[in-house]
Structure 1
Amino acid sequence: MDVNPGFVLECRPMSPPFPSPHPVTPLNELARAEATPAFSPLYRQIKGLILAGLQAGEWKAGETIPSEMELAGRFGVSQGTVRKAVDELAAENLLVRRQGKGTFVATHAEQQQQFRFLRLTPDAGASATLGRQLLDCRRQRAPAWIARQMNLRAGDPVIEIRRLLHSGGEPVVLDDIWLPGAMFKGLTAERLREHRGPFYGLLETEFGVHMIRAQEKIRAVAADVEVAGLLQVSPGSPLLSVERLSFTYGDKPVELRRGLYNTTHHFYRNDLQ
Structure 2
Amino acid sequence: MSLAKPFNTRPLYQQVADEFIARIVSRAWAPGQSIENEAEIARSLGISLGTVRKAFDILTEHKLLERQQGKGTVVTDFTTGKMRSRFSNVVDRSGERVSGEVEIGGVHLAVAPADAADLLQVNARTPVLQFERRRTHFGRMFMTEEVYLRVDASARDLSQDALEQLAFARWTGHDLATHKRESVTAEAATAADKRNFKIKEDTSILKLRRLICSYQDRPLELRFARVHLGSDLVYASA
Is this a same-fold pair by TM over 0.5? Answer: yes
1:211 maps onto 2:177 in alignment: yes
Cα pair distance change 1:170/1:189, threshold 3 Å: farther
Among 58, 62, 69, the residue aligned to 2:31: 62
Cα pair distance change 1:136/1:61, threshold 3 Å: farther
Question: Partners of 1:108 and 1:180 in 2: how far apart?
Answer: 19
1:251 match: secondary structure: coil
2:146 match: secondary structure: strand
TM-score, normalised with respect to structure 1:
0.71
- Asked if the contact 1:97–1:104 (Cα under 8 Å) also holds between the matched residues in 2, the reply is yes
1:268 maps onto 2:235 in alignment: yes
Q: State the shift of 1:150 in Å.
A: 0.9
TM-score, normalised with respect to structure 2:
0.80
Question: Partners of 1:97 and 1:86 in 2: how far apart?
Answer: 10
Structure 2, unmatched stretches of 5+, are none
1:91 maps onto 2:61 in alignment: yes
Q: State the shift of 1:223 in Å.
A: 1.6
1:250 match: secondary structure: coil
Identity of aligned residues (%): 23
Question: Partners of 2:99 and 2:179 in 1: how far apart?
Answer: 21
Cα distance per residue 1:92-138 (max 9 Å; x no partner) = 31211233334233342123322210121123674566112223222
- Asked if the contact 2:2–2:45 (Cα under 8 Å) also holds between the matched residues in 1, the reply is no
Name the residue aligned to 2:121: 151
Among 4, 23, 33, the residue aligned to 2:2: 23
Cα distance per residue 1:67-99 (max 9 Å; x no partner) = 302221133344344334323421331211233
1:100 maps onto 2:70 in alignment: yes
- Asked if the contact 2:88–2:99 (Cα under 8 Å) also holds between the matched residues in 1, the reply is no
- Asked if the contact 1:223–1:237 (Cα under 8 Å) also holds between the matched residues in 2, the reply is yes
2:216 match: secondary structure: helix
Cα distance per residue 1:227-261 (max 9 Å; x no partner) = 22112222122111110111124321111011111
Structure 1, unmatched stretches of 5+, are 1-21, 26-38
- Asked if the contact 1:55–1:249 (Cα under 8 Å) also holds between the matched residues in 2, the reply is no
More contact order relative to length (CA 8 Å, sep ≥ 6): 1
- Structure 1's consecutive aligned runs of 4 or more residues displaced over 6 angstroms after TM superposition are none
Name the residue aligned to 1:49: 16
Question: Partners of 1:61 and 1:119 in 2: how far apart?
Answer: 28
Alignment of 1:182-221 (within 5 A): 182=152, 185=155, 186=158, 188=160, 192=164, 199=168, 203-205=171-173, 208-221=174-187
Cα pair distance change 1:190/1:229, threshold 3 Å: farther
How many residue pairs match? The answer is: 229
Cα distance per residue 1:3-51 (max 9 Å; x no partner) = xxxxxxxxxxxxxxxxxxx6334xxxxxxxxxxxxx99xxx63244123
Cα pair distance change 1:236/1:138, threshold 3 Å: farther
Aligned CA-pair RMSD: 3.2
- Asked if the contact 2:85–2:98 (Cα under 8 Å) also holds between the matched residues in 1, the reply is no
